[in-house]
Amino acid sequence: MFIFAFVSIGLTLANTFFRIDKAGLIQGKNWISKIKLSLLLWWLMTLIFTFITTGEIINQKSFDVTATWSYLTQTDLGKSYLVSLVLIFIGLLFNYSKNSGSFFGFLVSLAAIAAPIFESHSSGLGNHGLAIGTLLFHVLALTFWISSLIGWQAITEAERKLSFNRIHNLLLWVATTVVITGVINSLIRLGFSKDWFSKYGLLVILKIVLTLFALSLAVMNRKKISTSSRFNSSSLLPVEIFVLIFISVIGNWLTQIQPPNVNTKLAQADLALLKVGIPMPDAPTLSRIFWSYQADGVILGILIFAVALYIKSVLVLSRRGDKRPLSKTILFAVGISLIDYATSGGIGVYANFAFSFHMMAHMIIGMIAPIAIVLSSPVTLALRTLPIGRVKDERGVRGMFINFLHSPFTKIISNPVIALAIFDGSLFVLYFTQLFGELSESKKYFYVETVTIPIPTELQENNRLGIIVK
């Protein structure tokens, strides 16, 4: 199943970022049938996997459609695979002859492989948010690593020459992410104990050794390719891909094995830990609200990624002799810090247990932090630093971003009236239906906020007045 996932994501990634496009149309051979075939095979293998999993649960070898549907709709893990199946199917609908269609198909494919990860750690084991977050970014980074190499193998020599810097920079980011998140996740599950000598621990050690071996192969491959005048694939590249796929197999195997002392930890867990993933905090005081911290790994990972991109962009400007105003950097840091405080800091900790703190977090994330981030002008920074096209008439990453900013979708959601309707409407849907209770019960909290992109929009006077009053 994962082989077809890696191939599908690799082809869409290469189609988006490695192949040459002109005015948004992919040049060269048409990959539509190739990409959609790989997606279809991925979908079929995922469906077969759910049938097999259901059969193991009910101890039945034949496929049972009714039981499988119950598994997909009534269990948390089954629902995550149902989401994957739906997302893979949606991926079949995109037009992969266009750069934009391939990009959104790539994002949907990543979401499909990420969906089951949210059910891979029991909240009663502690550090639930950090464990899920590190595992999510670990899997996504490993997927990027494998898929980009598969996509690199599929493109032509001319395209390899043009895209070498892109894949080199991409792999530098993902390899670093794989190592850091892998170490953190291993320490969360095993700590500094004799559990490292259990079956689970030994598999983790094997995975670490293979990852270090893959890193050494990556260094040799990149060096060999960069010194080659023809930019052909290194003979060691298939070995690197095989080692990485074997690492992913070990990772999947680890999800099927119970970590050491799980039953003991679950037996000692209180109700708050089982429900929310963190222990019940003491009564809130000013000191506890200010200093408490329980990392939400998903949000924290996104924030770290945003900060890394911001720093990288500022360095690009500096190398060109341009200076980023210090005030804008400070505003960006303030906005990021506020979001982190509202999700992982004291407000975020108590928001899991008190609705009043939840609303405080909501206000910080939805109405205070965005002001600082918008005033830091991240869109302007991106437009000044994103890579341009590699050949004449190619959009490049910067052109893709500009095209998105001027797309009909962006014009609609950036209209203040539409943004206001989404903002207010989402509150009614969340708090006046069963959705909030279901999200709370399933320990999933998603903060979906609307950020207005500053594209000029003509409004009638009464609409302007309504926005100002709001």
In a domain, 304, yes or no: yes
Q: For position 358, what pLDDT does the model report?
A: 85
Decide: residue 144, CB within 10 A, 0-12 exposed, 13-18 middle, 19+ buried: buried
The more confident residue out of 212 and 63 is: 212
In a domain, 389, yes or no: no
Pairwise CA distance, residues 145 & 123, whole Å = 29
Q: Nearest-CA neighbor of 264 among 124, 129, 121?
A: 124
Task: Judge if 293 and 254 occupy the same domain.
Answer: no
Q: Residue 90: is its pLDDT beyond 90?
A: yes
Task: Judge if 90 and 19 occupy the same domain.
Answer: yes
In a domain, 345, yes or no: yes
In a domain, 206, yes or no: yes
Q: Residue 271: is its pLDDT beyond 80?
A: no
Of the residues 272, 290, 321, the one at which a domain ends: 272
Task: Judge if 107 and 140 occupy the same domain.
Answer: no
Of the residues 50, 84, 119, the one at which a domain ends: 119
Q: Nearest-CA neighbor of 429 among 452, 416, 443, 448?
A: 448
Task: Judge if 47 and 132 occupy the same domain.
Answer: no
Pairwise CA distance, residues 284 & 273, whole Å = 18
Q: For position 410, what pLDDT does the model report?
A: 84
Calculated CA dihedral for residues 388, 104, 378, 168, nearest 10 degrees: -50
Tokens 């992410």, located at residue: 177
Q: For position 162, what pLDDT does the model report?
A: 82
Q: For position 335, what pLDDT does the model report?
A: 93
Name the β-bridge partners of 22. 25
pLDDT range class, residue 201, cuts 50, 70, 90: confident
Assign 99 to helix, strand or coil: helix
Angle of the 378-385 helix axis to the 396-405 helix axis, nearest 10: 150
Contacts for 93 with CB less than 8 Å, ≥ 6 apart: none
On average, the pLDDT of the chain sits at 81
Tokens 């893959």, located at residue: 214
Type of residue found at 392: K
Pairwise CA distance, residues 204 & 268, whole Å = 25
Per residue in 297-312, pLDDT (tens digit) is 888 999 999 999 999 9
In a domain, 397, yes or no: no
Kindly state the DSSP code that residue 344 receives in the 8-state scheme. Answer: T
Q: For position 468, what pLDDT does the model report?
A: 38
pLDDT range class, residue 54, cuts 50, 70, 90: confident
234-238 mean pLDDT: 70
Q: Region of 67 please: left (phi>0), alpha (psi -120 to 50) or beta.
A: alpha
Contacts for 234 with CB less than 8 Å, ≥ 6 apart: 220, 221, 224, 225, 228
Task: Judge if 87 and 7 occupy the same domain.
Answer: yes
Of the residues 91, 119, 147, the one at which a domain ends: 119
Name the β-bridge partners of 21. 26
Per residue in 338-357, pLDDT (tens digit) is 999 998 898 988 888 888 88
Assign 394 to helix, strand or coil: coil
Pairwise CA distance, residues 360 & 365, whole Å = 9
In a domain, 193, yes or no: yes
> Residue 329, Cβ neighbours under 10 Å: how many?
15
Q: For position 128, what pLDDT does the model report?
A: 72
Query: Hey, which bits of 327-460 come out as E strands?
Result: none
Q: Residue 75: is its pLDDT beyond 80?
A: yes
250-266 mean pLDDT: 72
Task: Judge if 110 and 132 occupy the same domain.
Answer: no
Looking at mean pLDDT, say which of 39-43, 162-166, 267-271, 280-284 comes out highest.
39-43
Pairwise CA distance, residues 283 & 96, whole Å = 54
Per residue in 401-454, pLDDT (tens digit) is 888 888 888 888 888 888 888 877 877 887 777 777 666 655 454 444 434 444
Q: Residue 157: is its pLDDT beyond 90?
A: no
SS (H, E, C) 187-252: HHHHCCCHHHHCHHHHHHHHHHHHHHHHHHHHHHHHHHHHHCCCCCCCCCHHHHHHHHHHHHHHHH
Assign 451 to helix, strand or coil: coil
Pairwise CA distance, residues 419 & 355, whole Å = 25
> Residue 372 has which token pair?
């600082």
Pairwise CA distance, residues 457 & 296, whole Å = 36
Task: Judge if 138 and 244 occupy the same domain.
Answer: yes
3 sits in which H/E element: helix 2-13
Pairwise CA distance, residues 47 & 42, whole Å = 9
Q: For position 37, what pLDDT does the model report?
A: 93
Residue 356 and residue 393 in contact, taking contact as beta carbons nearer than 8 Å:
no
Q: Residue 469: is its pLDDT beyond 60?
A: no
Pairwise CA distance, residues 287 & 290, whole Å = 5
The number of domains in the chain is 4
Q: For position 332, what pLDDT does the model report?
A: 94
Per residue in 350-384, pLDDT (tens digit) is 888 888 888 888 889 888 998 999 899 899 999 88
Task: Judge if 111 and 144 occupy the same domain.
Answer: no
> For a pLDDT cut of 90, what percent of the chain falls above it?
20
Task: Judge if 181 and 227 occupy the same domain.
Answer: yes
Task: Judge if 233 and 373 occupy the same domain.
Answer: no
Tokens 């949907």, located at residue: 108
Q: For position 330, what pLDDT does the model report?
A: 94
Q: Which long-range contacts (CB under 8 A, 24 or more apart) does 171-177 make?
A: 171/145, 171/218, 171/222, 173/141, 174/141, 174/142, 174/144, 174/145, 174/148, 175/141, 175/145, 175/215, 175/218, 177/137, 177/138, 177/141
- Find the domain containing 259 and state its range: 124-272
Task: Judge if 132 and 156 occupy the same domain.
Answer: yes
83-110 mean pLDDT: 91
- Residue 122 C-beta-side C-alpha neighbours within 13 Å: 18
> For a pLDDT cut of 70, what percent of the chain falls above it?
85
In a domain, 393, yes or no: no
Q: For position 465, what pLDDT does the model report?
A: 38
In a domain, 418, yes or no: yes
Backbone angles phi, psi at 226, to 5 degrees: -65, -30
Task: Judge if 158 and 235 occupy the same domain.
Answer: yes
Q: For position 40, what pLDDT does the model report?
A: 94
Kindly state the DSSP code that residue 443 receives in the 8-state scheme. Answer: T
